[in-house]
Amino acid sequence: MSAPTRRTIKTDYLARVEGEGAMSVRLVDGRVDEVELRIFEPPRFFEALLRGRSFLEAPDITSRICGICPVAYQMSSINAMEDLCGVEVSEPIRILRRLLYCGEWIESHALHVYMLHAPDFLGYSGAVEMAREHPDAVQRGLALKKTGNELMIVIGGREIHPVNVKVGGFYRAPTRRELLELVEPLERAREAAVETVRWTAGFEFPERAVECELVALADGDAYAIEQGRVVSDRGLGISVHDYGDHFYEEHVARSNALHSRRADGSTYLCGPLARYALSADRLSPLSREVAAEVGLEVPCRDAFRSIVVRSVELVYACDEALRLIADYEEPDAPAAEVEPRAGVGHGVTEAPRGLLYHRYELDGDGTILDAKIVPPTAQNQLAIEEDLRQVVDRYNDLSDDDLRHVCEQAIRNYDPCISCATHFLDLEIERA
Amino acid sequence: MEKRPTLAVWKFSSCDGCQLSLLDVEDELLAIAERVQIAHFLEASSAIVAGPYDVSLVEGSITTPEEAERIKEVRAASRALVTIGACATAGGVQALRNYAEIDDYVAAVYASPEYISTLATSTPIADHVDVDFELRGCPINKQQLLELVSAMLQRRRPSIATHSVCLECKSRGIPCVMVSHGIPCLGPVTQAGCGAICPAYNRGCFGCFGPAESPNLASLEAWWRSLGVDEQGLQRALATFNVEAFRRERERANASHDQD
């Protein structure tokens, strides 16, 4: 019997993702033997450095986990603290939080769709290179991103690590006039988002399906963003308080990121595909119309088409922001009074990439005794590896360079945020 | 065609926010890309042009043995090396480990500490290699980044103020939150650059840009005490994104006080 033929494909440093990671794939006799995402983004030990800090500091400190989705960290930590302290906030504060979060979805999705992901489909190394032949598209993406950032600046003070957010509400509530100035840019952004759906839906997609369980938040009649129950397409429906009973994290040698699993050990996926599968009927009429126009089915299990789902979510985020501004009345007080309590609080929100869970234990004067943070990319890492395995099996007749490109694209389908997950990527394909 | 200067962006331990600022200059990005060859910027492009580079922007702090080696390679490949953001200039919020037992930190987060390779400290880039200019902030300010890139390409020194946030409040006409509202504020000891956004939102400055030139920490301490803040409160406020820079300033102030 001849020796098995081995082939290794690797990417030492994956580009157009947020953070540092690598991938390696080993094939033996043309079949996938092993797929690994390695996260070498160095650990920064947030859960440890939060110990001994005030519960009021968690939003500012945890926002520094990620410069692309700081609002997600602020909102999940705030939900946890308010859950524990029994705080009810007023309707205007709820509106402002969802509005700020819409800004982050627009900024993050526009960044990913136009600058990180679209170049894969059109054959460019990046958006700047793409701009030479597709100047209108890139300008449209930049304008969309800018509008998301403007929303964050008006409500949060700045786009990266907003300063105006606190446990209980805001330091200063924006005036109606300040928000009304955002209406025109948001209406233009909504048009641009509709164009984005038509543009991305015209890309070529390999027909593929993700098979694992899809997990997202459900929030009554709303498309869940800043709050909700944890639900799945396989019947899960729990309060955030019970998250720990249904999900766990494990630590494997190759990665500075922890891997999340369902309690029975199975893999699941969160993010745009899961949200769309579970809540598409709660999208605004315009978002559903545009999705129907381009033939985006519900559910969509094709990770390559996640770029179209993200684009539909861009339409929704603009639409929803406009609705929220119309409904906004200035609050009597910018924040609710908060008294710390000893105990454990849980918070979860839909970061642009998927579920972001926080859990804190406080003592009676509000000092953090213990913190646990489960970012979306840690939850999705196993699903990404499973998907990668299938992608390699299907495309293993490609040359190493072409196979590497397909694998990198398959990873970027998930918009992995490695800065978040450290506690993610290099692509290495070994053909044994 | 005239050869364009090359710009490289490097990431060490960080949140990616400061390099994202370069993509956040939406109105200027494509114009910059025409004048400058973006030769290495992995967050934005998979195309890599080999060095050396005219200007390297370095984000993040040094927290692993691998990073301590890699920064030397970046220095060797760069004509000008500029650090961007509180992680690169001061060690970042992850420098809180410098005041704790690293083994406790690793054990608090990871089930299998033996898989983790980390240094016991998070240190600024300037502790490891020569740095030509430092841009402060957590995150950096986009206008300051544009000024920095322009200056570096013209081979002139960037025009970046080193005075305190107080002057920004004055120039924006924002009433002092400490005097008029009794809100503890780090503005008097913090370097300008953000545009005094916190006071503009009825919040005290919390030190994102690190210590201003010659900060009067003793005076600040007296102010904060009069507003009812205890030592732990002041310690916590100074011990966030620029913990290492504020600690070094405090030590310097104490040392000169001892000489008096």
Q: Does B46 touch chain A (CB under 8 A)?
A: yes
Residue A26 has pLDDT above 60, yes or no: yes
pLDDT band at A250 (very low <50, low <70, confident <90, very high): confident
Cis amide bond preceding B211, omega within 30:
no
Q: Are residues B93 and B201 in the same domain?
A: no
Same domain (yes/no): B16, B100? yes
Is residue A22 within 8 Å of A121, Cβ to Cβ?
A: no
Which H helix or E strand runs over B175?
Answer: none
- Length of chain B equals 260
pLDDT of residue A256: 66
B75, B130 contact by CB (below 8 A): yes
Nearest Cβ partner for B139 among A15, A161, A258: A161
Select from B153, B173, B204 the last residue of a domain: B153
Q: Strand, helix or coil at A215?
A: strand
Q: Which domain holds residue B233?
A: 165-259
Reduce the DSSP state of residue B107 to 3 states and report it: helix
- Do residue B59 and residue B117 come from a single domain? yes
**B137 and B24 both lie in a single domain:** yes
Q: Within this chain, do residues B142 and B181 fall inside the same structural domain, yes or no?
A: no
The beta-carbon neighbor of B94 closest among A45, A149, A408 is A45
Average pLDDT over residues A153-179: 98
Pairing of strands B78-84, B133-135: parallel
Q: What is the mean pLDDT of chain A?
A: 91
Confidence of residue A1 (pLDDT cuts 50, 70, 90): very low
Instruction: Measure in Å the smallest separation between the Cα of A356 and chain B Cα atoms.
Output: 16
- CB contact under 8 Å between B23 and A115, yes or no, is yes
Are B180 and B248 found together in one domain? Answer: yes
Q: Which of A215-224, A298-307, A355-364, A412-421 has the lowest mean pLDDT?
A: A412-421
Residue ranges of domains in chain A, CATH in brackets: 46-396+403-408+410-419 (1.10.645.10)
Distance CA A156, CA A136 (A): 30
- Of B20, B29, B46, nearest to A16 by CB-CB distance is B46
Same domain, B129 and B174: no
- Confidence label for A35 from pLDDT (cuts 50, 70 and 90): confident
Question: What is the amino acid identity at position A15?
Answer: A
Best of A49, A260, A377 to disrupt the B interface by mutation (most B CBs within 10 Å)? A49
Q: CA torsion sign, B52 to B53 to B54 to B57? A: negative
Higher pLDDT residue, A114 or B100? A114
Query: In terms of domains, do B215 and B88 share one?
Result: no
Residues 98-117 of B with CB under 8 A from A: 100, 104-106, 108-112, 115-116
Put simply, whether B245 touches A (Cβ < 8 Å) is: no
Chain A residues within 8 A of B63 when measuring between CB atoms: 42-44
B160 domain-assigned: no
A252 vs B115: CB contact, 8 Å cut-off? yes
Choice among A126-140, A258-272, B107-121 with the minimum mean pLDDT: B107-121
Residues in chain B within 8 Å Cβ distance of A15: 42-43, 45-46
Give the ipTM of the model, two decimals please: 0.95
Q: Which of B153, B181, B203 is the last residue of a domain?
A: B153
Q: Would you say residue B217 lies in a domain? A: yes
| pLDDT for res A2 | 57
Does B219 lie in the same domain as B149? Answer: no
- Give the CATH number, domain containing residue B108: 3.40.50.700
Averaged over A67-81, what is the pLDDT?
97
Indicate whether B40 belongs to any domain. Answer: yes
The count of domains in chain B is 2
Place of tokens 């309690």: A263
Residues B69 and B94 in one domain: yes
Average pLDDT of the residues in B83-94: 97
Separation of alpha carbons A21 and A418, rounded Å: 7
**Least confident interval from A38-42, B153-157, B175-179, B240-244:** A38-42
* End residue of a domain, out of B153, B185, B214: B153
Looking at the fold, whether B88 and B115 belong to one and the same domain comes out as yes
In a domain, B1, yes or no: no
The verdict on residue B158 lying in a domain is: no
The string of pLDDT tens digits covering residues B143-190 is 999 999 989 878 899 999 999 999 999 999 999 999 999 999 999 999
Q: Are residues B194 and B143 in the same domain?
A: no
% chain A with pLDDT above 70: 91
8 Å CB contact of A48 and B33: no
pLDDT given at position A251: 76
CB contacts under 8 A, B 199-238 vs A, are: 200-203, 206, 208, 236
